Structure 1
Amino acid sequence: MVKDLTTHERAGAPADRAGETPAELLQLADQCVKCGLCLAVCPTYAQTQHEADSPRGRIALIQGWLHGELALTDRLAAHLDGCLQCRACEMACPSLVAYGRLSTAAKAHRVAALPAWRRYFRRLLLQSLSDARLTRWLGTIARIVVNSGLAWVLTLANNAPLRSWRRLAVVIATTARRIKPRSVPETPFDLFVGCVGESTQGTALAATLQVCDWLGVAVKVTTQPECCGALLRHNGEIAAAATLRQRCVDQYAGRQLIGLASACVAELRTEPALQNTQELCAWLLQLPWPDAVSLRPLPARVLVHEPCSHRNLLGGTAAVYQLLARIPALEIIPLPGNDQCCGAAGTYLLQHPQMADRLLAAKITASAALAPEFIVTTNPGCALHLAAGLREAGLAISVCHPVELLVRQLPTKASL
């Protein structure tokens, strides 16, 4: 099977090499033999049953465009931009086509063809969302939107992106939390906060530090969190993404970096100097746990959502299940349809809200049928998307990171 290979290994080169020429992209595309095995695993093709919304169809469009046989029309661009970049097709591909690398590089060429003013404002927005100094205020802004009643006003707007922003604001108002820096020179461990960590995973970051304190493991939290560059790269801004990732190299190279967001961990690992990056659940399992003390029981049902970034790029989600299994009495069930993207996909839920909601619908239906108390996921975008959908469906199901369940069940000080 090919799913144990990383994107870096499958492609034989870094996944985001800047400056790939059309000839190099065509060479990548020519690896696709159009066998169609990708159709069964592509979420967008499953929704539309349109060949142009499948991986092999999009590759054919890229080939036609680069050969000059197809014009770069809005319709062609819509089919290409409709890709979630979930990478499920790569896992099913017997020819090991590096679809993610091809798709991202092709998007970079299309972005470069935009008018200068559009490129400028587009990049400005993406860079703002990738700057922790700005995004740490998202929680405050979200609470103002919710408490002022502006969120209710936005529900009246006949505009899908505005409604999506409103939905996210309601959730971010509850997830945001400022994380105090920790200077621990002697520890080899750094906690990766990232650009939107304090806003979208603030409570999970706080829970992580609490669990680390309980285990007696010191971790460093930098005063200047850096972005991994994933958001920019997925939107075709490869050079800007590389600049951000180099800042991560400057700050973390040679140290053990621990990340909560599966997409960030996957992005950081594409950089050779940051191969020491570990996903939190897998890292926690490796730490020494007290033998004489167990976590408090939690008689509840939890559904495990498996993000595409974790399933397809980090070698699977076994560590999540193993970590949750440390909690006595907890009923752990995979969320049905984990092999299909939930529709969050970075900024996709804002850029393509209708398709994002169509993909989310199956998750909401399954959640309603199984009636769990909790849904856990390791991707903050997925968590926001799921939480917003559940709330709109009237389902009182808490969405959180696995570490947030863990911290709830820590023994009291008296039992230690």
Structure 2
Amino acid sequence: MLLEKSPLHAPAGRIAELADQCVQCGLCLPVCPTYALDRNEAESPRGRIAIASALARGLAEPGAGLREHLDHCLGCLNCEKVCPANVQYGELLIETRALLGPASHRPRLLLELVKRPALLRALRRVGGWLGLSLWKNRLARRLPQRSPWRAALLGLPAGSPAAPVRVSDNKNEQPRLALFPGCVASVDDAEAQQAAVTLLQAAGFHVSVLPAFCCGAMDLHGGAAAAAEQAAQQVRRAWAASGASQLLSVTPGCLGTLRRALPGISVLDPVELLAARAGSLHFRPLAQRMALHLPCTQINVARTDAALLQLLRRIPELDVLSLPRPPYCCGAAGSHLLEFPARAAQLRDATLRQAATLEPQQLLSSNIGCRLHLAAGIDQQGLHWPTRHPLTLLARQLEPSH
């Protein structure tokens, strides 16, 4: 499906302008995970640009068939990285989904639960008391293969969540940082957030913590523009009250949405700051082999993959190996693992096959959605690899300062 540069038949707006940047070269196809899965032009960035252009110009009706190709997109942004015309594909996808509105198959109730960290934490505690981790797989198998609740149960971590991140009083004069906890990450990645605070303070930074709430990423990428803007306004209010000069998130999947909500503000992966002061951090040896999964957002949005490797290689005796690429995406992609669990599982299993070639003792991944998704596959395949955030590992190996 090629994009035709024809005269406008209807108001095109921003979507048509973005689509017209595409030169139809096809360099995006080899790096697109959904094109690799289906070998269908409509499941490629070039095909989706054509669909978006046709919808914006009123040349096509937003039926279920066309809509599905857009909804299948993972938003990994590998296409942007190789595009010679600098097409803003991520922006085009967001604008097109906003034009269409949320999909009918979107698991609204489940997503509302995920976006409410206080409720999610309470339910996780109840699940821990009931021993849910012991029988969740049997319960999940009773649900249909395509059920988002089945995927959610299979991805549920064992045990109760760690306590919310806390910071100790720090009177030094270093630049003030604010950590954004997020929604799911504030519950299931609290240990990594605490690790980030520990490492940053050891490197001489003053860190504060914002309240835990959803940044709006799932709504933004799901076409729920009004809900996404409400979340963005909450981000702006929390940021204004923080008095900080830089905002941090240990979840690369939140960075793009936070930057969109706070244009002109420095929003960073803490790995970037830690790598810049790596000389002040010293680590205990660890003689293990680790497979490092680099989330798409860490490579294409945060762009801290090299900095993370630099930090991990400061741990003496640690053998850390990045997963080969392709595959280019594990399939988690925000709410994609809930909306299209079968497709997400195909991409995840390809990622785990690559990890298995490294024969690791642990698997590291910095995005909570990716890590829960990969852990579910590890559990189902009986691989017995512990999974954790790289910052958690770094904090555990950190030598205390004297």
With structure 1 as the length reference, what TM-score do the two structures score? 0.84
Instruction: Find the partner of 1:324 among 312, 321, 325.
Output: 312
Aligned match of 1:177 = 162
Letter in 1 for 2:226: A
Residue aligned with 1:86, SS: coil
Whole-Å Cα distance in 1 between the matches of residues 200 and 65 of structure 2? 50
Whole-Å Cα distance in 2 between the matches of residues 216 and 175 of structure 1? 31
Residue aligned with 1:45, SS: helix
Q: Structure 1's 387 and 126: CA in aligned 2 closer, same or farther, altered over 3 A?
A: closer
Instruction: Find the partner of 1:137 among 103, 118, 122.
Output: 122
Whole-Å Cα distance in 1 between the matches of residues 289 and 360 of structure 2? 5
Aligned match of 1:195 = 183
Query: Contact 1:175 / 1:199 at 8 angstroms: preserved in 2?
Result: no
Q: Structure 1's 320 and 185: CA in aligned 2 closer, same or farther, altered over 3 A?
A: closer
Tell whether 2:242 aligns with 1:252: no
Cα displacement (A) at 1:70: 2.4
Query: How far does the alpha carbon of each residue in 1:244-273 deviate from its partner, in whole angstroms, 9 at most, with x for none?
Result: 122222222443222100111232123445
Whole-Å Cα distance in 2 between the matches of residues 373 and 397 of structure 1? 6
Residue aligned with 1:84, SS: coil
Whole-Å Cα distance in 2 between the matches of residues 333 and 196 of structure 1? 27
Q: Which runs of 5+ in 2 are unaligned?
A: 1-10
Cα displacement (A) at 1:362: 1.6
Aligned match of 2:144 = 158
Q: Structure 1's 228 and 28: CA in aligned 2 closer, same or farther, altered over 3 A?
A: same
Query: Contact 1:175 / 1:201 at 8 angstroms: preserved in 2?
Result: no
Whole-Å Cα distance in 1 between the matches of residues 219 and 369 of structure 2? 15
Aligned match of 1:38 = 28
With structure 2 as the length reference, what TM-score do the two structures score? 0.87
Query: How far does the alpha carbon of each residue in 1:217-269 deviate from its partner, in whole angstroms, 9 at most, with x for none?
Result: 442224x3232221110111223212212222222244322210011123212
Aligned match of 1:13 = none
Query: Contact 2:145 / 2:342 at 8 angstroms: preserved in 1?
Result: no
Cα displacement (A) at 1:383: 0.7
Whole-Å Cα distance in 1 between the matches of residues 45 and 132 of structure 2? 39
Whole-Å Cα distance in 2 between the matches of residues 232 and 146 of structure 1? 28
Instruction: Find the partner of 1:296 among 280, 284, 289.
Output: 284
Cα displacement (A) at 1:369: 2.2
Aligned match of 1:356 = 344
Letter in 2 for 1:230: A
Aligned match of 1:47 = 37
Aligned match of 1:149 = 135
- What are the within-5 Å matches in structure 2 for residues 395-410 of structure 1? 395-410=383-398
Cα displacement (A) at 1:412: 6.5
Letter in 2 for 1:192: F
Residue aligned with 1:102, SS: helix
Residue aligned with 2:290, SS: strand
Whole-Å Cα distance in 2 between the matches of residues 175 and 349 of structure 1? 22
Answer with 366-375 or 404-413: which moved more. Answer: 404-413
Query: Contact 1:183 / 1:221 at 8 angstroms: preserved in 2?
Result: no
Query: Contact 2:332 / 2:370 at 8 angstroms: preserved in 1?
Result: yes
RMSD across aligned C-alpha pairs, in angstroms? Answer: 2.7
Aligned match of 1:12 = none
Q: Structure 1's 59 and 409: CA in aligned 2 closer, same or farther, altered over 3 A?
A: same
Whole-Å Cα distance in 2 between the matches of residues 410 and 185 of structure 1? 19
Whole-Å Cα distance in 2 between the matches of residues 145 and 48 of structure 1? 39
Query: Contact 1:387 / 1:399 at 8 angstroms: preserved in 2?
Result: yes
Q: Which runs of 5+ in 1 are unaligned?
A: 1-20
Whole-Å Cα distance in 1 between the matches of residues 325 and 127 of structure 2? 31
Answer with 394-403 or 276-285: which moved more. Answer: 276-285
Aligned match of 1:8 = none
Aligned match of 2:3 = none
Instruction: Find the partner of 2:155 among 165, 168, 171.
Output: 168
Aligned match of 2:5 = none
Letter in 2 for 1:149: W
Instruction: Find the partner of 1:335 among 310, 318, 323.
Output: 323
Query: How far does the alpha carbon of each residue in 1:111-142 deviate from its partner, in whole angstroms, 9 at most, with x for none?
Result: 17x7xxx69x9666544432333333353255
Q: Structure 1's 126 and 390: CA in aligned 2 closer, same or farther, altered over 3 A?
A: closer
- What are the within-5 Å matches in structure 2 for residues 13-412 of structure 1? 22-111=12-101, 126-143=111-128, 144=130, 146-147=132-133, 149-161=135-147, 162-169=149-156, 171=157, 173-174=158-159, 176-179=161-164, 181-182=166-167, 184=169, 188-212=176-200, 214-215=202-203, 217-222=205-210, 224-253=211-240, 254-273=244-263, 275-287=265-277, 290=280, 294-337=282-325, 340-411=328-399
Answer with 143-152 or 235-244: which moved more. Answer: 143-152
Q: Structure 1's 249 and 67: CA in aligned 2 closer, same or farther, altered over 3 A?
A: closer
Letter in 2 for 1:249: R
Query: Contact 1:299 / 1:331 at 8 angstroms: preserved in 2?
Result: yes
Cα displacement (A) at 1:163: 2.4
Residue aligned with 2:324, SS: coil
Cα displacement (A) at 1:408: 2.3
Query: Contact 1:168 / 1:385 at 8 angstroms: preserved in 2?
Result: yes
Q: Structure 1's 145 and 166: CA in aligned 2 closer, same or farther, altered over 3 A?
A: farther
Q: Structure 1's 243 and 124: CA in aligned 2 closer, same or farther, altered over 3 A?
A: farther
Aligned match of 2:4 = none
State, as a whole percentage, how many aligned pairs show the same letter.
34
